Amino acid sequence: MTTGEKQEDGKVAYGDLTRRVGVEILEARGLDVELLKEKLIDSIAAEFASTYYYYTILRMYLAGHEDYKEICEDARLEDRAHYELMTPRLYELGGSLPYNIHEFADRAGCAHAFLPGTDNGQHPPEEGGPSAEDILLVLLESERCAIRSWAEICDMTRDKDERTYDLASRILNEEIEHEAWFIELLSMERDGVVRPSGHFRRGEPGEAPYSKNRPLYTP
């Protein structure tokens, strides 16, 4: 750009509030923004409904396994933070969360992490509840689905949408970490095999790593 030249030309007319230059730039780079918004809704819904909500129930049934419960709580709080991290980006792209919570939950891109022994949440479990092994397996497979979902969004946005890619890649890194946690726990609980995950305590039990002194992002 030469001296004095201004970047005023583009598809968005001067003063137009119905379109976004930020979206125009992404489309010019070849990104299907409408498809991205749909995939973001699915992934955001999974973080909120499939994991944060259902992990709340799962951790209640890990009584007597306080170490498992603590790690489940870390994952639960971090998944809530993922929901809060990516939701503003959806709106920046001109998207919106569904206005009906039932529609939102149904949009989840991963299967809900139902408590084992409840027929997918249709009734309470039998007396005694599910085993720790059964719960850890549900937690593990939920994290694996999340890894696949956020990896897909990273692939879509790499070199095209730096902002969404940055947020999605940070979420993906934590989901990969979560998978390692639950491999470690399930491996010992079910198989008696040590497969260290590298999990360190988050300060206090249940304290997500960015909840106080280590923010994942600064609004």
pLDDT digits (tens, 9 = 90+) for 113-137: 999 999 999 999 999 899 999 999 9
Q: The whole model's pTM is what?
A: 0.87
pLDDT computed for residue 12 by the predictor: 79
**What pLDDT does residue 215 have?**
46
Beta carbons of 117 and 129 less than 8 angstroms apart = yes
Would you say residue 44 lies in a domain?
yes
What contacts 43, CB < 8 A, 6 or more positions away? Answer: 86, 109, 146, 149, 150, 153
Q: Is residue 36 part of a domain?
A: yes
Tell me, what CATH number does 137's domain have?
Answer: 1.20.1260.10
Show contacts of 86-90: CB within 8 Å, 24+ apart. 86/40, 86/43, 86/44, 86/47, 86/167, 86/168, 86/171, 87/44, 88/219, 89/40, 89/163, 89/164, 89/167, 90/37, 90/40, 90/41, 90/44
Q: Hey, what are 128's tokens?
A: 């005694």
Quote the domain boundaries for residue 130. 30-191
In a domain, 219, yes or no: no
In a domain, 85, yes or no: yes
Is residue 184 in a domain? yes
pLDDT at 14: 86
Domain count, the chain: 1
Q: Which residues of the chain have pLDDT under 70?
A: 1-9, 202-219
191 burial (CB, 10 Å; 0-12 / 13-18 / 19+) is exposed
pLDDT at 199 (0 to 100): 79
Report the pLDDT value the prediction gives residue 218, as an integer from 0 to 100.
42
- What confidence score (pLDDT) does residue 217 get? 44
Q: Is residue 179 in a domain?
A: yes
Q: Is the residue at 59 inside a domain?
A: yes
Residue 202 is predicted with a pLDDT of 67
- Alpha helix segments (H runs only) across the chain: 21-28, 33-45, 54-60, 66-92, 101-106, 132-157, 162-186
Digit-coded pLDDT (tens) for 21-47: 889 999 999 999 999 999 999 999 999
